[in-house]
A and B are shown apart, each in its own frame.
Chain A
Amino acid sequence: MNDKATASFVTAFETAGNALPGAGSWLARRRADAIKAFAQAGLPHRRLEDWKYTDLRQALDKAAFAPAPEHKGAVILPETRGAVAFAGIDAHKLVFVNGRFHEGLSDMARLPKGVELHRLADVLSEQWAKALIERRMDEARQAENIVELNTALMADGMALRIRKGVRLDKPLHLVFVAADAGASHTRNLVLLEEGTEASILESHLGGKAALADIVTDIELDADATLLHAKLQDETADSVHLSTLRATLAGKARLGSFTLTLGCGLSRAQNFIRFAGEGAHASVDGAYALRAKQHFDTFSVVDHAVPGCTSHTMFKGVLDGEAEGVFQGKVIVRPDAQKTDGRQMTQALLLSRDASMNAKPELEIYADDVQCAHGSTVGELSKDAIFYLRSRGIPDAEARRLLVLAFLDEAIELAPHEKVREIFRDLVSGWFGEAAS
């Protein structure tokens, strides 16, 4: 342990560990191992290849988050477009305030039969939950080590299990609000059994400087379909650290899309592994950042079996001194023939001081595959602006049109027409703020 922030997490574990869910069970031992492993490695820093462009240690040392307290009194949502973005969508709703479930704001009545929705603490004795929590995608992957921090300190979260053949009638909307300053650790578990279907919407909102450490573990059985849209819109002094891990059985489908607008520093990790043939995963996103915002996407798609397809596309615009990072990797294991893996990252730099770092990797051990990746970085085309202006469109409007058109290619990949509309509006609003 060689930094303040690591020490503060260890202290948090020592003082509050016994009060965390799962005390006295298998999880208590697992937590003890996890905090030990975490303390030994410390928070990640830039000398680790997987964290080459993001210094989490430095950021957390500087921010010095204390554990988030339990919120007292009424919860006031921040007055942002993002806070009400999904309001028009009819959904089952789960609200977490400072990382703790808030029953009063949630609405999870009238779930279809076969849909089991619980708090994390209620499912810890179940085998499927244990399997998901203990699952590690790749022992050798540095980036996955940070999950130990979450395992040690996770206090609450959502556990969704859908029984065979059942379809979730309307989307499940998860709202995470930082009503007070501090660090929270949340764990979500999702198991979709054979032939099921579900949509999950996530909103991450904040009024206070907070660290949101969220791990979502997903398992999709054969023919299961999960559509997932996430909106990240926390305050500029917040840190967002999220990891999504998903295993897909044969013919399962995962469509995950993230729109990132908020946070001073955010790191979104996606680990996808194919375990059955004919599955498809699409992990995409768009981001619009300004000022000193820093956003790092780290994604690994592991084609461990033949005949699967994957798609990764991240597009973003960077203004002010914002910094974008994309680190992606497509792995095609030996014998994973007939794989089709696509990876694309594109960024527009709108200001002199913005910067972008990209590292789209391919690691291929099979020959009958199609893999391609691409990366572009540049500014708005002067010709395009000139063209629009020559048609009488003012400069600012021309820029807005071009930026929206640029991001739209990614937003098109988000699930549900309604969500796409909402995301377009948010991006358009973001640009309005920039102009004013």
Chain B
Amino acid sequence: MAAVRETVETVGEVEKYKYGFFTDIESEKAPLGLTEDTVRFISAKKNEPDWLLEWRLAAFRRWLTMTEPTWAKVSYPPIDFQDAYYYAAPKQKVKLDSLDQVDPKLLETYEKLGIPLTEQKMLAGVAVDAVFDSVSVVTTFKEKLAEVGVIFCPMSEAVQKHPELVKKYLGSVVPTSDNFYATLNSAVFSEGSFVYIPEGVRCPMELSTYFRINEKQTGQFERTLIIAEKGSYVSYLEGCTAPQRDENQLHAAVVELVALDDAEIKYSTVQNWYPGDEEGKGGVYNFVTKRGDCRGANSKISWTQVETGSAITWKYPSCILRGDNSRGEFYSIAISNGRQQVDSGTKMIHLGRNTTSRIISKGISAGKSSNTYRGLVSVHRKAENVRNFTQCDSLLIGDKCSAHTVPYIETKNPSAILEHEATTSKISDDQLFYCMQRGIGEEEAVALIVNGFCRDVLQQLPMEFAVEAQKLVGISLEGSVG
């Protein structure tokens, strides 16, 4: 009997979302709903200059005229945008000098997440700008970065300290009128990271931010802006986990990357928002606009993403290859289980000469989930000698899930060489049998095979993430076989 109870308990543990805990911190909220006043409230809270308030209000007014996009292959009940809070900040009254002054509960949360805030973890060489709900709490490694002139700070701080940079680049890649969710974000964004790498600097460490949604009913509207000046290099890591929740949470972030001549930006994401329960109830809606602009010659932007969470993912990290010889890369693993719905992919817009792009997308659907790759490769008339290679493979686990591929290929220049390949298959019985007869359990075998399937993408991740991501692949598929 004891053994049986133990099994039941173990299964119960597995069922629970590993990162589903809730931290009780009093927070300061904007009033429920979204009006011009909400926008003014957020702007005032952030003590923003007038031009930014006007920018937000313009976006808000435009947003009112827009309708939600419905073309994605996802379905969800209509969102009541008036039934959400658009701003929440953990109450932190005084400026902090050291970690000791940070709310211990907050630190506890980070501890559980394994964020390397403490001394010991600093040795890992990761500078963390920890975003808790909407306001940055603590930032480490600042001095070291400041030495080489790298600016890495919360967006609100950048608005105060480097308004000329923010004004110049904010909305220059994703304009306020871009799409429904990006426009909404422009109106109400509350926090995010700002990164500026000066000319010729190779950022001495991987930069990372942990985004967490904590306050109940609060949509998070992150705004990230990364600028890599001529000849610079930066690798930015973003990872997400969110507490278990019953109500759907809206997450509409905007990420803008600008790479000038010879600069390189590597942007890696591990997304692990709460996917909802067995029936798909309560998961996060992740409607994100991410775009990189290879503005200078020989620049390079590389997106790597591991998407395992969220009830709904609507995300298309893109590259505008404007500079001659610039290069865009997109490596993606999207895993869906349960009732998750993923509609994700990329856009490669080739404008400059000799621009190249590479797309590797691995979609894995299990349970009753739906997984769609949607991508665009577009070659403009003046873009000579463009080269693109696209590979999107789908793996289906079980017969209740679905996998879709929707590539758009548009060419207006004959010198372009574009290739697109896609396959759909299931885990072969032979492979599974081989693993199992070697004594590897079925779930472990599936994780092993899937990790092999994803290898091309996992290899692109920085070390710190690669290990975590591999584990995540296994965890995400728990309960999908047998």
Size bracket of the A interface: 35 or more
CB pair A357–B414 under 8 Å, yes or no, is no
- Minimum CB–CB distance from A160 to chain B (whole Å) comes to 37
Instruction: Please encode chain A, from 357 to 370, with 1 for each CB lying within 8 Å of some chain B CB and 0 for all others.
Output: 11111111111111
- Residue-wise, chain B 403-430 has the 8 Å CB interface mask toward A (1 for contact) of 1111111111111111111111110000
| Residues B418 and A377 in contact, CB atoms below 8 Å apart | yes
User: Separation in Å of the A326 CB from the closest CB of chain B?
Assistant: 9
Query: Given B402, B408, B414, B426, which contacts A350 in the complex, CB threshold below 8 Å?
Result: B414
Contact A356 B423 (CB under 8 A): no
**Binding-face segment, B3-11, B159-167, B338-346, B391-399:** B391-399
Which residues in B have their C-beta under 8 angstroms from that of A141? none
Residues from chain B with Cβ under 8 Å of A375 in the complex: 407, 409, 418-420
Cα distance A36–B399 when bound, in Å? 41
State in angstroms the CA–CA spacing of A335 and B399 once bound together.
Answer: 7
Q: Within the complex, which residue of A337, A353, A355, A366 is in contact with B410, where a contact is CB–CB below 8 Å?
A: A355
Q: Whose C-beta in chain B lies nearest to the C-beta of A345?
A: B409
Task: Let me know if A364 and B402 touch, CB within 8 A.
Answer: yes
Q: Chain A contacts of B30 at CB under 8 A?
A: none
Q: Which of A329-368 contact B (CB under 8 A)?
A: 334-335, 337, 347, 349-368
> How far does the alpha carbon of A208 sit from the alpha carbon of B92 in the complex, in Å?
79
Question: For A23, what are the chain B residues with a Cβ–Cβ distance below 8 Å?
Answer: none
Q: Decide yes or no: A367 and B399 within 8 Å by CB, A376-B418, A376-B420 being known contacts.
A: yes
- Determine if B420 and A367 form an interchain contact, defined as CB atoms under 8 angstroms apart: no
Report yes or no: B404 in contact with A362, Cβ–Cβ below 8 A. yes
Known contacts A357-B410, A375-B418, A378-B416: A367-B426 contact under CB 8 Å: yes
CA distance A366 to B396 in the complex (A): 8
Contacts of B403 in A (CB 8 A): 362, 364
Residue contact B399 to A374, C-beta cutoff 8 Å: no
Q: Is B71 an interface residue (CB 8 A)?
A: yes
A375–B400 alpha-carbon span in the complex (Å): 28
Q: A360 vs B405: C-alpha distance in the bound complex, in angstroms?
A: 8
Chain A neighbourhood of B408, CB < 8 A? 357-359
Check B415–A379 contact: CB distance below 8 A.
yes
Count the B residues whose beta carbon is within 8 Å of the partner chain — how many? 34
Question: How many Å lie between the Cα of A128 and that of B404 in the bound state?
Answer: 35
**Chain A binding site: helix, strand, loop or mixed by DSSP?**
strand
The answer to whether the Cβ of B401 comes within 8 Å of any Cβ in the partner chain is: yes
Name A367's contact: one of B398, B409, B414, B419 (CB within 8 Å). Answer: B398
Using known A-B contacts A49-B71, A372-B423, determine if residue A377 contacts B409 with beta carbons closer than 8 Å: yes
Contact across chains for A374 and B421 when beta carbons are under 8 A apart: yes
A373 interfacial by beta-carbon distance below 8 Å = yes
With a cutoff of 8 Å between Cβ atoms, the chain B residues found around residue A376 in the complex are 417-420
A371 close to B (CB within 8 Å): yes
Q: Are A357 and B423 in contact (CB under 8 A)?
A: no
B405 engages A362 (CB within 8 Å)? yes
A358-B409 contact given A349-B414, A378-B417, CB 8 Å threshold = yes
| Interface pair B411/A356, CB less than 8 Å apart | yes
The complex places the Cα of A378 from the Cα of B418 at a distance, in Å, of 7
CA distance A95 to B422 in the complex (A): 43
Nearest neighbor of A319 in chain B, beta-carbon distance: B414
Report the Cα distance A336→B397, complex, angstroms.
15
A352-B414, A355-B412, A374-B422 are contacts. A367–B401 as well, Cβ < 8 Å?
Answer: yes
The answer to whether A361 and B405 touch across the interface, beta carbons within 8 angstroms, is yes
Q: Which residues of B contact A357 (CB under 8 A)?
A: 408-411
| B382 CB to nearest A CB, Å | 10
Closest to A53 in B: B410
- A367–B397 touching, CB < 8 Å: yes
**If A349-B411, A350-B414, A376-B418 touch, does A365 touch B405 (CB 8 Å cutoff)?**
no
- Chain B residues near A350 (CB, 8 Å)? 414
CB distance from B423 to the nearest CB of A (A): 5
Residues of A within 8 A of B71 (CB): 49
Distance to closest chain A CB from B307 (angstroms): 19
The smallest beta-carbon distance between A297 and chain B, in angstroms, is 14
- For B410, list chain A residues within 8 Å (CB): 355-358
Residues from chain A with a CB closer than 8 A to the CB of B404 are 361-364
User: Could you tell me if B406 and A359 are in contact, using CB atoms closer than 8 angstroms?
Assistant: yes
Ordered nearest first, which 4 A-B pairs have the shortest CB separation? Answer: A349-B414, A367-B396, A379-B414, A375-B420
User: What are 29 sample pairs from A and B whose C-beta atoms fall under 8 A apart?
Assistant: A334-B400, A337-B399, A349-B413, A349-B414, A352-B414, A355-B410, A355-B412, A358-B410, A361-B407, A362-B403, A364-B396, A364-B424, A366-B399, A367-B401, A367-B426, A368-B399, A369-B424, A369-B425, A373-B421, A374-B422, A375-B418, A375-B419, A375-B420, A376-B417, A376-B419, A377-B411, A378-B414, A378-B417, A379-B415
The chain B residues found within 8 Å of chain A, CB to CB, are 71, 381, 394, 396-426
